[in-house]
Structure 1
Amino acid sequence: MASKSYANILDLDPDKLLDIPQTPRALPRVMTIPGIIAGVDSYGNDCDSESTSSSCRERKIIVANMLPLHIQRDPDTLKLTFSFDEDSLLWQLKDGFSPESEVVYIGSLKVEVDAREQEEVAQKLLDEYNCVPTFLPYELHRKFYGGFCKHQLWPLFHYMLPMCPDHADRFDRVLWKAYVSANKIFADKVMEVANPEDDYIWVHDYHLMILPTFLRNRCNRVKLGFFLHSPFPSSEIYRTLPVRDEILKGLLNCDLIGFHTFDYARHFLSCCSRMMGLDYESKRGHIGLDYFGRTVYIKILPVGIHMGRLESVLNLPITLRKVKEIAERFKGKKLIVGVDDMDIFKGISLKLLAFEYLLQMHPALRDKLVLIQIVNPARSAGKDVQEAKMETYLILNRINEAYGSPDYQPVVLIDRPVARYEKSAYYSMADCCIVNAVRDGMNLVPYKYIVCRQNSPHSDDETALRTSMLVVSEFVGCSPSLSGAIRVNPWDIESVAVAINSAIIMKESEKQLRHAKHYRWSRTSDWQPDLVPMELEWKEIAKPVMELYREATDGSTIEIKESGLVWHHQDADPDFGSCQAKELLVHLENVLANEPAVVKRGRHIVEVKPQGVSKGLVAEKVLSTMTENGEPLDFVTCIGDDRSDEDMFESIMNTVSSAEIFACTVGRKPSKARYYLDDTVDVVRLLAGLANASDPKPSSNPARFHVTFDTGF
């Protein structure tokens, strides 16, 4: 009897839903690749569960709606020709696996293949590309992908409800049945290819969210992972979906579910809690929930970029020629670049409206500022896409007519397929990049821009510090990890215009600092810390624990100090970072219970340091040493912003008796400090004022001036 975890979907009997023919077998039973058919090794012998691991090579099976291939039909022979799409994230995934792992791709083709040539095509793809195609009948694919995926799931996951016929499509059960049927065909293909007890199966994106249900029903011990490339909406949005339970159950039949950000994971967990009564807990840096006797792990897995591949493109002769061409064409101009799909959620029209407002309010920028907007080909040809395109061109023409001239075009729209080298050239030449989506997944454009600016071939001075500026919508998945970006609400056109202007006029030194921070983060997303030798045993215990939480928390870092270790989470998602900090605190207290170390939590940090060492003790030592050395103090300033600074305030109050003390906390809160400042801006102003102050009555014995403040605020 099937488990209740498969209920509803299996009851639909998808083979009979649309009365569609079964996909013809594309693979013969005897293969030359070990383990390509479950239960058969390279010699045609049975691989039982005990012998498979040693005789059959470990494989990763990546299942997605589309194979990562470019496809063309030879005009002479009419045969299909294939090549890997090197821009595809699915294709780049293989570089993240062990070289010993075999990677097999399962997915559809971007062209319809006649039934008579399907078997030949399938064999060619398997032999030459390790790809296994699923052939969906045209009508099924139209209702599955063009219908349920693109016009029901995709808008809903981007927070668009079908409030009226012109605002997303209403739920259509025929399209849902097509979705179920297509997922069933994918499941058949996976089971035809996989050794389910040994292979690792990774399912990608919202097109295949109930595929895990069919696979789990076939083999309960199958090793399943799922990664969602789009946002997952809040429970208030998701619960409007009539088949909400079926999709949640589909995901819960996985062993691991990955999301771009903690926000998306939190929304999913909230749906599981409110709609299915499932509880979850965070343990050892990971989130897990129990579902029918299994633990389903939830992980935050932000997608990165292939830096080596991107850097190599910048050095190609064709890229260098394009960079030179851009430099000559836009000489003397400040360039802003945007690269977006043409759809209603990428905010292209809002971006243009903000740029129009900027030129209107700042006439001096006219003839000096150019927005290069690259538009990726639309993934669907729906009415909403056509309307978005019409609106974009309407605003574009209005801006260029109002503020352009024969020698100046304020907005340059590139609405055609743009090769990687050309995009890289524009990235490397742009003073600012703007991502203004009203709702988006991770979006890798900012990271590509940062890397291209760092390796820009246009710079004559290789030692010069590089700069970049980012204006990023707060509704984009990458926003939390880009702490140096100017975050904007894309709907607030005036504020976006102000942000663009700020990015352009910002001091070079500030641009350099922001760029360096972003580039460091881009390079160290898989960073392994180069730690100095640790003499104290407690550091060696604390280090791997902190490393575990750093890997599990996007945006967190570890700082190595002589006096201890500090885990920072100021650049992580605020809610997730705080949750992880609380758990890390408890975890470290447990493992260091018998060690001469203390664990403290401060503002965006968790710190481990030796017992008896505090800011108060250090401040007391510094001031006492100065007094003993004959350096009396007339005035002491002490500034800090978190609980650990209270020891410093108290220590200075008790240590210094002959000098005037200015103890100041940052933020209005109970404190042992007598004074307060509202924020760090006020701190900088205060220190600048003190530095510029002069003694109206200088003496032969000028007063010693010592400033003590916490650099971590």
Structure 2
Amino acid sequence: MTGQRDQLVVVSNRVSGLTGRGAPGAQGGLAGALEAVLKRRGGTWCGWSGNERGEFTGDVHINYRDGIRKATIDLEPQDVEEYYNGYANSTIWPLFHCRLDLTRYERNFGKGYERVNKRITDCAAQLIGPGDLVWVHDYHLMALGKGLRMRGIANRIGFFLHIPWPPVRLFSSLPFHERLVSSLLKYDLIGFQCDEWLENFLHYCRKDLGAAVDEQSGRIKYEGVTTHARVYPVGIDFDHFTALADTPEAQEAAWWLRSSTRERIAMIGVDRLDYSKGLPERLDGIGCFFERHPERTHDLVFVQIAPPSREDVKSYRDIRARLERKTRQINDAFSEVEFDPIRYVKRGFSQAQLYGLYRAARIALVTPLRDGMNLVAKEYVAAQDRLDPGVLILSRFAGAARQLDSALIVNPHNPVEIAQAIRAAMDMPLEERRSRWERLADNVRDENVHVWAGNFLHDLESV
């Protein structure tokens, strides 16, 4: 296609700024990134409203906010159970994070996933003009590209995966895995966050699907269709985030953390409550630190912010109970009359408040067992004082570790390694902290969300 594109149409499970189960309360991650891109370019955002109705009507709800047209549909309770709680979050999410032990394969889940992908496809198809670029996001909607092609949509359609792609042997345990990937290959361009996830995908396409794959260019030919798969590391809206420094919310949050920790070193973790984030393993590492260095108990306070999520899914209720139990055990063993060494905070914070908390924390502990990217690590770097920056401890299994290699990189499964990194961070000289932070900040500043979006959309127009 040639000529000027009329608009950008983004399709995702969640549409930010709306109420309901499917929409986040605060801007961050996928929601914050797409909000920033659409505010700059203008366009349409389509997806599930987050609301449930007793019977599906197909009605599309349209509203306008900040120059963005937002179009949503409501789903039936059965849709939510089979598509969202079921296939997306009980099958795809654990499998793609290499938790085969938590992966549930149920036939109705797959049916519900395809049914809701069809319903969101019907919604999006009404909104796509002849010259529009279409950008579909994440594991909830992998089948949507095929649906749009079946409706005769010939536009350039791209897909970006915000979570890891698993190794071939794990992915091939998924029933009808060929069917899912053949649907993905109807997109013109597929984006991954790091080389490892792309390599896993190309390996599967070549080995199990029998597609013709050019490893150098990422070109895949299958059933007469050519698709390109490439790496696009997602970033944060650096300018917007750092502008929060002078807000009352940020300054009050920083003051609270500094004053409440009573001159002790504050170490922070900020995560959605999820088994992929390695929170119990993180606490094992902190407990190991206190056991190995009892003389440092009074020097460190760890604040873990972990608002609950997906509480309709049993594995998420289990991880919350496990985290609460480990927090109590460590506090029982090491607390004093005047303080507990671990604070577990079960609510979310605004971006401005998080900026202040990051700024006041001398150490950030970002130790997922497996993560597509992890924007918390980048936000922490962006919030630091250039004259007296803190230290980032980062899991080697986060996608961000490929870019942020000046952090202290750890194996999140090894509590001794986490304990050693905590001690190194506490004792790190100012000169080394500055040197490490400068290299991290250069990447976070340069590889921001607008560069990410610009690179992807440029390639989508030109492949």
CA shift in 2, pair 1:277/1:116, >3 Å = closer
Quote the Cα distance in structure 2 between the aligned partners of 1:83 and 1:373.
Answer: 19
Q: Does 1:264 align with 2:197?
A: yes
Q: Map residues 247-286 of structure 1 onto 2, 5 A cutoff.
A: 247-282=180-215, 286=217
1:411 deviates by 0.4
Q: Does 1:478 align with 2:400?
A: yes
Q: Map residues 136-215 of structure 1 onto 2, 5 A cutoff.
A: 136-162=75-101, 167-169=102-104, 171-195=105-129, 197-215=130-148
Quote the Cα distance in structure 2 between the aligned partners of 1:521 and 1:527.
Answer: 12
1:433 deviates by 0.7
TM-score by length of 1: 0.60
Quote the Cα distance in structure 1 between the aligned partners of 2:263 and 2:77.
Answer: 52
Among 323, 330, 335, the alignment partner of 2:254 is 323
CA shift in 2, pair 1:94/1:318, >3 Å = closer
Residue type matched to 1:141 in 2?
V
Q: Does 1:229 align with 2:151?
A: no
1:263 deviates by 0.4
Q: Map residues 102-117 of structure 1 onto 2, 5 A cutoff.
A: 102-112=42-52
- For these two proteins, the number of residue pairs brought into alignment is 451
Quote the Cα distance in structure 2 between the aligned partners of 1:116 and 1:386.
Answer: 29
State the partner residue of 1:399: 330
Secondary structure class of the residue paired with 1:276: coil
Secondary structure class of the residue paired with 1:336: strand
Q: Does 1:376 align with 2:316?
A: no
Quote the Cα distance in structure 2 between the aligned partners of 1:84 and 1:331.
Answer: 31
Quote the Cα distance in structure 2 between the aligned partners of 1:126 and 1:371.
Answer: 38
Quote the Cα distance in structure 2 between the aligned partners of 1:346 and 1:202.
Answer: 27
CA shift in 2, pair 1:125/1:326, >3 Å = same
Secondary structure class of the residue paired with 2:234: coil
Quote the Cα distance in structure 1 between the aligned partners of 2:36 and 2:271.
Answer: 26
1:245 deviates by 0.6
Q: Map residues 569-580 of structure 1 onto 2, 5 A cutoff.
A: none
Quote the Cα distance in structure 1 between the aligned partners of 2:26 and 2:302.
Answer: 28
Deviations 1:24-54 (A, max 9, x none): xxxxxxxxxxxxxxxxxxxxxxxxx99xx67
State the partner residue of 2:177: 244
Quote the Cα distance in structure 2 between the aligned partners of 1:301 and 1:421.
Answer: 27
Quote the Cα distance in structure 2 between the aligned partners of 1:372 and 1:526.
Answer: 27
> In 2, are the aligned partners of 1:147 and 1:175 still within 8 Å (CA)?
yes
1:341 deviates by 1.6
State the partner residue of 1:666: none
Residue type matched to 1:378 in 2?
S
1:441 deviates by 1.3
TM-score by length of 2: 0.90
Q: Percent identity?
A: 26
Quote the Cα distance in structure 2 between the aligned partners of 1:116 and 1:235.
Answer: 37
Deviations 1:347-392 (A, max 9, x none): 1111111111111111221111111111033134322112211111
Quote the Cα distance in structure 1 between the aligned partners of 2:68 and 2:51.
Answer: 17
CA shift in 2, pair 1:383/1:147, >3 Å = same
1:116 deviates by 11
1:179 deviates by 0.8
Secondary structure class of the residue paired with 2:218: strand
Deviations 1:605-647 (A, max 9, x none): xxxxxxxxxxxxxxxxxxxxxxxxxxxxxxxxxxxxxxxxxxx
Secondary structure class of the residue paired with 1:70: coil
Q: Map residues 278-677 of structure 1 onto 2, 5 A cutoff.
A: 278-282=211-215, 286-454=217-385, 465-525=387-447
**Greater relative CO (CA pairs within 8 A, separation 6+):** 2
Residue type matched to 2:414 in 1?
D
Q: CA RMSD in A?
A: 2.8
Deviations 1:454-493 (A, max 9, x none): 37xxxxxxxxx23221111111111111111111111111
Q: Does 1:87 align with 2:28?
A: yes
Residue type matched to 2:267 in 1?
I
Quote the Cα distance in structure 2 between the aligned partners of 1:88 and 1:368.
Answer: 32
State the partner residue of 2:7: 59
Q: Map residues 690-701 of structure 1 onto 2, 5 A cutoff.
A: none
For structure 2, the 5+ residue unaligned runs are 457-463
Residue type matched to 1:87 in 2?
G
